[in-house]
Amino acid sequence: MLLKIYPENPNPKAVEQAVEVLRNGGVIIYPTDTVYAFGCDIFQARAVEKICKFRGIDPAKAHLSIVCSDLSHLSEFAKVDNNTFKLMKRLLPGPFTFILNRSNKLPKLFKERSEVGIRVPDNNITIELVKALGNPILSASLRDDDDDVLEYLTDPELMCEKYIYEVDMVIDGGFGNIKPSTVIDCTGEEPEIVRQGKGKVEL
């Protein structure tokens, strides 16, 4: 199912329609401020496992990322020191993934790892989805690093054709980007850029 939501002013009814899919354990494809991504409620274990299967990754070993609505929401699921908080406050919302030490509020699937990747994208659709759901959304980008088929990565209609039997809904929020987020590891003494993506920053 393809659901059109306008990023400038997301329709609450359309947002609620997508959130209902997430609440029921469904998997969606949704836009961010970087690439389109698979998403589900992090507390729906089967949906998380389904996304990991799409990407060919082991949920217990994978570097899973979640999307939160703001810094306050983010701090429930990760441990954030003062310096990291200041850095995130400066850069978020934006095209960055922060690797942080996780909190105990994350579900069992995350227990094998001590870290979690967290995003607060600069995208109204994403933020409204998370707010309406009340939980973070697991985020796994459609794009693999060796994936060169750019058309379906940016065009929601082509995504719908490609994944019609795998996902429950594709949200059309306009054409997507092909650059992933910049990943900053904040688990050490100093923050470190481990992947340079769309987000530009000097640490």
pLDDT on residue 57: 81
Q: Within 10 Å of residue 133's Cβ, how many Cβ atoms?
A: 23
- Give residues with Cβ within 8 angstroms of 73, minimum separation 6: 130, 136
Residue 153 lies in a domain: yes
Name the pairing type of β-strands 137-141 and 65-67: antiparallel
Domain count, the chain: 1
Where on the phi/psi map is residue 10: left (φ > 0), alpha (ψ -120 to 50), or beta? beta
Residue 64 lies in a domain: yes
Residue 200 lies in a domain: no
Rounded to two decimals, the pTM is 0.92
Residue 52 lies in a domain: yes
Give yes or no for a contact between 117 and 65, defined as CB atoms under 8 angstroms apart: yes
Residue 149 lies in a domain: yes
Q: Identify the CATH number of the domain in which residue 174 sits.
A: 3.90.870.10
Per the structure, the complete domain to which residue 183 belongs is given by 2-195
**Along the 203 residues of the chain, how does pLDDT read in single tens digits?**
999 999 999 999 999 999 999 999 999 999 999 999 999 999 999 999 999 888 888 776 777 899 999 999 999 999 999 999 999 999 999 999 999 999 988 888 777 788 999 999 999 999 999 999 999 999 998 865 555 556 667 899 999 998 988 999 999 999 988 889 999 999 999 999 999 999 999 87
Q: Within 10 Å of residue 67's Cβ, how many Cβ atoms?
A: 27
Write the burial class of residue 178 (CB in 10 Å: 0-12 exposed, 13-18 middle, 19+ buried).
middle
Name the pairing type of β-strands 37-41 and 65-67: unpaired
Residue 201 lies in a domain: no
Give yes or no for a contact between 39 and 27, defined as CB atoms under 8 angstroms apart: yes
Residue 102 lies in a domain: yes
